[in-house]
Amino acid sequence: MSAPDLQQLRAEAVQCHQSGDLAGAEIRYAQILALEPHSFTANHLFGMLRTQQGRGAEALALLDRALAIKPDHPGAQYLRANALLQLGRKEDAVAGYGRALALKPDFPEALNNRGNLQQSLGRHDEALASYDRALALNPGNVMALNNRGITLRSLGRREEALASYDQALSLNPDFASAHSNRGKLLFDLHRIDEGLAALRRAAELGLRPEPPGPPPPHRLRHDREQQDYLGGTDDGRLSLEGGERIAGPALNSADAAAISERWRGSKPQLVVIDNLLTAEALAGLRRFCLGSKIWRKAFDDGYLGAFPEHGFACPLLAQIAEEFRAVFPAIFGAHPLHNLWAFKYDSTLSGINVHADEAAVNVNFWITPDEANLDPASGGLKVWDVDAPLDWDFLKFNGDVAATRDFLRRSGAKSITVPYRANRAVIFDSDLFHETDRIAFKEGYLNRRINVTLLYGRREAGRAA
C-alpha cells in the first residue's frame, strides 16, 4: 500500500472511531497494524478501541507494545490502567494511574478514575486526595464533586458530603447520579422525606435506563398486564400514581409494646406483625404500586424490582419508614433507613433465592390481597436461624447460593416459615439467611404478589448491638 493510501486508511479509521462506528474502526486499525506492527500510533489507537469495547486483554497487549515504543506517553499509561481495571487487576491499575499522573500531573480523568478505584478498595483517604487534586485543577468538575461526596460519606463526614453534592447540583441541576447519592445520604441524616424526593428526581431524570436488548418474557408479560390495567399508551417514561402522605397514622401501633417485647426475647431475632398498616395507608400504597410505572428491573428468577432510583420513592413510603422508627424504638434504635424497594412476582416462576442483606434490621411486608394467594400455608418467607458469617462479603452472602446452602447444611440450620398474609410484616435481623417461600398466586395483574422491603442500619452496627 502506498503512503497516500495508508494515510487515507488512517484518516478513515480515526473518522470511524470518532463517529462511533467501532466496527468500521476495528477493521481499519487491524489493517494498519498489519502494515505497521511497530507503530506507536497504530498500537495506541487500536488499544484505545479495545478498552472501549471492554476487551481488556487485547487492549493490554496493544498498549504494552505502544509503551515499549514510547514509555513516557501519559495517555497510553492511562488507557493501560483502564485495561488492567477491566481485567480485575485493581492494584496494578492504581499503580498505572499513578504512572500516568507522574508524567502528566494535571490529568483529571486519571485522578478521577484512580479515586474511584481507591474508593472501591476501601482506601477512602487516598480517594479523597485524588478527588481534591482533580478539583484543584477544575473546581467545576461535577463528576469529581459527586465522587468526593461518596467518599466523604464513607468516611462518616456527612455534612461535608452533602455540601459536595449540593455544589455539584448547583453546577448541573440535572445530574441524576448526584441527586441519587444525595438522597441516600439524607437517609443517613434521618431526613427520609427529602431523601426520597431526591431519589424521585433522579428517577425523573432517567438515572437507571433499562438495560440494552429485549426485555425478558416475564417482564413483557407484566408490562402488557399493566398496560391493559392502566389503559392508554406506554411511552416508557416514569409515571407515578398517588403515594401521598395520609393525615392519620400509617402504622397500627396498638400492640407496639408487646411486639417490642417479643423482639427483645426472640432468638433468632424475628417478629411477625399482622395488620401492619392502617386501612388508609394500605389502600394508598396499593394504589401507588399498581398505578405507577416503576417496575423496571427484571431478575432472572422471575420477579421485577422497583427501586427508589426507578421512582419507588413517594411521600407515603417516607411516612411509613419514619413511623417504624417512632413506633418501635426498641427494634430500630438509632439505625437510619438504609435502603428500600419492592418486588413483584410471576407465579409461573420462582422467587428470591436464599441470601442475607447488608443492613442491621430487615422489614419485609406484603400488600397483595389474600384472595390472590392460592395456598394460605405458603407464599411468604423462609428465615434460617443462623447468621451470615462475618468474614463473608456482600457478594458472597447475597449472591453465592451454593456456598450458602452448604453453610446452612453444615451448620445444622433450621428454617422458620412465615406464611403469606396481606398486610403482614416480618421484621428480623438482616444477617439471617432468608428466601421467598413457594409462590402460588392467581393469574392477573391485580393478583401478583408484591412485597415491600425496608433496610435499616448497617450490618456492622447490627452486630455491635
User: Could you state, in order of their start, the residue ranges of all structural domains in the chain?
Assistant: 3-204, 221-464
d(CA 413, CA 408): 5
pLDDT the model gives residue 209: 62
Q: Which three cell numbers stand for residue 107?
A: 490529568
d(CA 423, CA 458): 26
d(CA 156, CA 125): 12
Tell me which residue of 374, 347, 378 sits closest to 449, measured CA to CA: 347
Amino acid residing at 196: L
CB 272 within 8 A of CB 363: no
Angle at 322 between CA 321 and CA 328, to 5 degrees: 90
**Is 245 in a helix, a strand, or coil?**
coil
Amino acid residing at 403: A
- CA dihedral sign of residues 424, 430, 436, 437: negative
d(CA 2, CA 400): 57
Tell me which residue of 116, 21, 71, 137 sits closest to 80, measured CA to CA: 71
d(CA 119, CA 128): 8
d(CA 268, CA 120): 33
**Is 337 in a helix, a strand, or coil?**
strand
CATH class of the domain at 3-204? mainly alpha
Tell me which residue of 5, 73, 68, 65 sits closest to 35, measured CA to CA: 5
DSSP state of 268: S
Bond before 268 cis per omega within 30 degrees: yes
CB 206 within 8 A of CB 296: no
CB 175 within 8 A of CB 156: no
Give the CATH number of domain 221-464: 2.60.120.620
Written as tens digits, the pLDDT of the chain (465 aa) is 555 577 888 888 888 888 888 888 888 888 888 888 898 988 898 899 899 999 999 999 999 999 999 999 999 999 999 999 999 999 999 999 999 999 999 999 999 999 999 999 999 999 999 999 999 999 999 999 999 999 999 999 999 999 999 999 999 999 999 999 999 999 999 999 999 999 999 999 987 666 667 888 999 999 999 999 998 777 777 889 999 999 999 999 999 999 999 999 999 999 999 999 999 999 999 999 999 999 989 988 889 999 999 899 999 999 999 999 999 999 999 999 999 999 999 988 888 999 999 999 999 999 999 999 999 999 999 999 999 998 898 888 888 999 999 999 999 999 999 999 999 999 999 999 999 999 999 999 999 999 999 999 988 765 555
The neighbour count for residue 58, using CB atoms within 10 Å, is: 15
CB 142 within 8 A of CB 178: yes
d(CA 340, CA 319): 13
Which residues, 6 or more positions from 168, have their beta carbon under 8 angstroms from its beta carbon? 142, 145, 146, 149, 175, 178
d(CA 149, CA 181): 8
Enclosing H/E stretch for 456:
strand 450-456
Amino acid residing at 195: G
d(CA 90, CA 67): 20
**Is 424 in a helix, a strand, or coil?**
coil
